[in-house]
Structures are given as structure tokens and as C-alpha cells.
Amino acid sequence: MLIIFFRTLILYFLVVIVMRIMGKQQIGQLQPYELVVAIMIADLVAVPMQNKGIPLLTGIIPILTLLISQLFLSYVSMKSLHGREIICGKPTILIDKGKILTKELQKERYNINDLLEELRVMGYPNIADVEYAILETNGCLSVIPKVDKRPVTPNDLNLTPQYEGLPLPLIIDGKIIEKNMKMANVDMNWLNEQLKMWNISSIDNVILASLDPNNVLTVYKKE
């Protein structure tokens, strides 16, 4: 039992490291070749993990081989447009200028019910409001509405909104983020004074404290 326990831990940490090396896109939005790699890794890990008679290297070497192959394909897709089209494919336009392209739907094995469902998920229950719908290489649907159906922007109203930067978390789970404190150009005295205004006596009672570009601190207490 201990052998199986430690073999499982080794393979688990190996897979975690491999997925991290493959990049965030590997976890978030899988390309077809990345999905194949993920499925194969899961299958390769299961065999030596369940059968202690199989050497551990039997599972480790194929996983590392898949890692190298995936990194190579990712490098090719970044450096070569032609290679990217071969490996990842090209986006497919399903609705062009408000017209449904049935040939493209058939080519992608995408029926009209799937299209309507995805449009509803994107917030477009009426297909007549859609100017373009593009099926991306990762399987996601991108929608461009018709001009008169787009949300109003400040530019449409000839307004110039005030700049909004990125808020900086200064405290997370009761821990001070020193790097962000330096970026915000604030010190502990200032932070303590702000916490007193929120009736907080200890940093340990803060789950999140975020500073916006206007130097306004928003604090969330732990329950």
C-alpha cells in the first residue's frame, strides 16, 4: 500500500509540473493537439499508478516525451503562421453579415441547435441581432452583434471617462503583499490607519484589502 501511495504522489506531482510547463492555455483553452496530449497523459499515468508491477519509468518517460512534443508544437505554432494553421486550424465563420452559412455548419459538424444555444449563452437570444459568429480554433464561439444592437460606449456619447487602472491587493488572507505596497507607495502606518477606519484591529482579520487607482482602500473581513 505504501508503494502505491508513493508512486501515486510521484506521478501526481509530475503531472502537475508538466501541466504548469505546458502553460496556462493548456489548462484554460485546449487546442485539439493539446486535448490529445492531456488525454494521453491521463491514460499513461493510470497504468503505473494502479499496477505496481510496472516500472515507474514506464509511465514517466512517455509523459516527458509528450511534454517535449507539445512544447515543440507550441513553438512551431508561435513562430510559423502556416504551421499554426496546420496544427491549430483556422477560425470558421458561421454567420456572415447576418446570414447563416449552412455549408460551414456542416463542415464543422455544428448543428443549428448548437449555434442557437451558444448565442443564448453569449447573451444573444435573437439570432437576427448577430452580424458575425466565428467558431474559434479552441471551440469557443465569438459573436459580433449588429451595429444597432451593440452596447452603448462612452465614445458613442462623446464622453471621456476617467482612467481606471488595475486595483492592487495589499492584503490577502491576512498576509501583507510587500511588493504591491511598494508599487502603491504606501507604508504600514498608512495601512493601519485605513484599517482603523474599517474598525479592524488586526491584519489577520482581513481576507482581502484592495487599493484602487484613486487610493481608495476596500477591505473585506473574514467571517
How far, in Å, CA of 138 to CA of 35, rounded?
Answer: 10
**pLDDT at residue 43 above 70?**
yes
Domain 92-145 maps to which CATH number in 3.30.240.20, 3.30.1600.10, 3.40.190.10, 3.60.15.10?
3.30.240.20
- Per-residue buried b or exposed e for 56-76, using 16+ beta carbons within 10 Å of the residue's own CB: beebbebbeebbeebeebbee
Model pLDDT, residue 222:
86
Answer whether CATH 3.40.47.10 is correct for domain 168-221.
no
Work out the percent of the chain whose per-residue pLDDT is above 70.
Answer: 94
Helix (H) or strand (E) holding 141: strand 141-145
How far is the CA of 77 from the CAs of 13, 18, 104, 136, 147, in angstroms? 28, 19, 24, 15, 34
Torsions phi, psi for 199 (to 5 deg): 60, 40
Residue 26 is predicted with a pLDDT of 45
More confident residue, 179 or 78: 179
For the segment 61-69, the average pLDDT, to the nearest whole number, is 86
Ordered by start, the domain boundaries in the chain are 1-86, 92-145, 168-221
All cell numbers assigned to 158? 462623446
pLDDT at 24: 55
pLDDT of residue 89: 83
Chain segment 101-123, per-residue pLDDT in tens: 999 999 998 899 999 999 999 99
Output the CA–CA distances (angstroms, integers) from residue 97 to 78, 121, 140, in the order listed.
31, 20, 19
pLDDT band at residue 124 under the 50/70/90 scheme: very high
* 149-200: pLDDT as tens digits: 888 888 888 888 887 788 999 999 999 999 999 999 999 999 999 999 999 9
Chain center to CA of 163 = 26
Q: Do domains 92-145 and 168-221 have the same CATH topology?
A: yes
Higher local confidence (pLDDT), 9 or 119: 119
pLDDT (tens digit per residue) in 13-31: 888 787 777 665 544 456 6
Q: Is the pLDDT of residue 37 over 50?
A: yes
Tell which residue, 99, 102, 11, 112, has the closest CA to residue 63.
11
* 119 CB-side CA count, 13 A: 24
User: Percentage of residues in the chain with pLDDT exceeding 90?
Assistant: 43
Tally of CB atoms within 10 A around 49:
18
pTM of the predicted model as reported, rounded to 2 decimal places: 0.65
Q: Please state, in angstroms and rounded to a whole number, the distance separating the CA atoms of residues 129 and 124.
A: 7
Cβ neighbors of 40 (< 8 A, separation 6 or more) are 62, 66
Look over the chain and give the mean of its residue pLDDT values, rounded to a whole number. 86
* pLDDT value at residue 28: 47
The span from the CA of 34 to the CA of 49, in Å, is 23
Q: Can you tell me the distance from the alpha carbon of 5 to that of 214, in angstroms, rounded to the nearest whole number?
A: 52
